[in-house]
Amino acid sequence: MKSSANWSPFVSDRRAGSIALLASQPAKRQLLAEVLEEFGYRVVFAGEPDGLDCEQLAAVDTEAWLLELADESDLAEWLLEYCPVPVLLGAGEIPENNSDEYPRWKLRLYNKLLPLLGRPAAGRAPTTLLHAPAAVRQHNARCVWVLAASLGGPAAVKNFLDHLPADLPVAFIYAQHIDARFEEQLPQILGRHNGWRIINCRQGANLHEGEVLVAPISQSLGFGTDGSLQLSATPWPGPYQPAIEVMLDEASNAFGPACGAIIFSGMGEDGVQACGRMRRQGMEVWTQSAHSAACAVMPQAVQLAGHSSRQGSPVELAGAMRHWLEQEWPVAL
């Protein structure tokens, strides 16, 4: 590789996963390099795009790239098109290191790197990380989000799915407060005009990308160590069926950190405490905006409790989900 003042090699534990860093801002580049090595990863390259060319990037021997670029970059486009290793687009806005959000930012970054590079043999992981079992992380569904709703939920969730491509690396669990007589009809209602496979629960089945699993009403749902669906004749605890509080906990325990939740239109406060637990573990919780919800009580309860990291209409949340997946699950060619 050519010598350049715009890049610098790093030397660390050869057993650690290697990562190359391309960042426009020197201060952010230095901080990211320090955090990556704190995690235990081996930063083999850290540079800014100015003065570099594709030939130089191609010569970098790395297992993954992390790009943090303020503007559109021909180098980023080249890496996404031709690089044989995963490319992670962005580490997100870095909070002040003395703020409550800083540990959560580190946790989110660490969670992004785990599926790419595995857990380093040395280093220091964020202490609040809840690791998913290896069998679950290798499951066909790369990540699983819960779509929770009550009154007004079917229309909102359908609008969300209608505006979201079904070929994304995600599966959903749809937990809807509804009479059990309508459970079997939900796949037909939600699946019109989109490519998502809306399915009812089947004992022992697994979730796959492009699927939306309807949480059962009369039976409670859990997950095996391999992520398989485990139906129980025991009814859901509490006054609501399905119990969104329990569903969120079960999903985050089985699929976290590759898990999140969106709280759509509905009555009541079912799930508020579980949303708080998910946020403390570094997972995303989004809520439907009040003006777009038929009943805003449920999403507003989560937002007022301080657990919502994003708000929007179903269409806006669909766009945000697509963007989030592009950022969180990098392209691997």
pLDDT given at position 185: 78
The string of pLDDT tens digits covering residues 132-167 is: 333 333 346 878 999 999 999 999 999 999 999 888
In angstroms, the Cα distances linking 217 to 59, 224, 227, 287, 314 are: 55, 19, 20, 22, 24
pLDDT at 328: 76
Determine the longest span between alpha carbons in the chain, in angstroms. 69
Q: What local confidence, expressed as pLDDT, does residue 87 receive?
A: 81
Give alpha helix (H) positions in 184-329: 186-191, 244-255, 272-280, 297-304, 314-328
Q: Which of 109, 131, 151 is nearest to 256 (CA)?
A: 131
Q: What tokens appear for 258 in the block?
A: 């590759």
Q: What pLDDT does residue 291 have? A: 96
Q: Given a cut of 70, is residue 131 above it in pLDDT?
A: no
CA proximity to 237, closest of 193, 274, 204, 186: 274
- Is 22 strand, coil or helix? strand
3-state SS assignment for residue 215: coil
pLDDT recorded at residue 136: 34
Tokens coding 330: 């990098």
**306-329 pLDDT, tens digit each:** 999 999 999 999 999 999 998 876
DSSP assignment letter at 333: -
Q: What is the pLDDT of residue 319?
A: 96
7-117 against 135-328: fold identical = yes
> Looking at the domain covering 7-117, what would its CATH class be?
alpha beta
Q: Poorest-confidence range of 61-65, 84-88, 251-255, 279-283?
A: 84-88
pLDDT attached to residue 125 = 77
pLDDT of residue 137: 37
At 283, is the secondary structure helix, strand, or coil?
Answer: coil
For the ranges 2-11, 117-126, 284-293, the lowest mean pLDDT is seen at 2-11
pLDDT at 329: 64
Tell me, what's the pLDDT at 159?
A: 95
Distance CA 159, CA 194 (A): 10
Q: Which CATH class is domain 135-328?
A: alpha beta
β-partners of residue 172 are: 145, 212
Give residue-wise pLDDT tens across range 34-89: 999 999 999 999 988 888 888 989 999 999 898 887 666 788 888 877 888 888 77
pLDDT tens by residue, 180-212: 878 877 887 888 778 888 888 889 888 998 899
Does residue 128 carry a pLDDT above 60?
Answer: no
Give the containing element (helix H, strand E) for 158: helix 153-162
Distance CA 264, CA 262 (A): 6
pTM, entire model: 0.62
Give CA–CA dist 149/263, Å, rounded: 6
* Residue 127 neighbours by CB under 8 Å, 6+ apart: none
* Top-confidence residue, 56 or 117: 56
Measured in whole angstroms, the distance separating CA 54 from the mean position of its chain's CA atoms is 30
Whether the bond between 103 and the residue before it is cis, its omega within 30 degrees of 0, is no
Task: Return all residues near 13 (Cβ < 8 A) that are at least 6 apart.
Answer: 40, 42, 120, 121, 122
Average confidence (pLDDT) over 253-257: 91
Confidence of residue 298 (pLDDT cuts 50, 70, 90): very high
**Predicted pLDDT at 16:** 65
Q: For the packed helices 272-280 and 297-304, what is the interaxial angle rounded to 10 degrees?
A: 40
Is residue 247 within 8 Å of 175, Cβ to Cβ? yes
Q: Does residue 154 or residue 14 have the better pLDDT?
A: 154
Question: Exposed/middle/buried for 38, CB within 10 Å: 0-12, 13-18, 19+?
Answer: middle
**Where are the chain's structural domains?**
7-117, 135-328
Q: What is the DSSP secondary-structure string of 161-179?
A: HHTS-TTSS-EEEEEE---
Residue 270 has pLDDT above 90, yes or no: yes
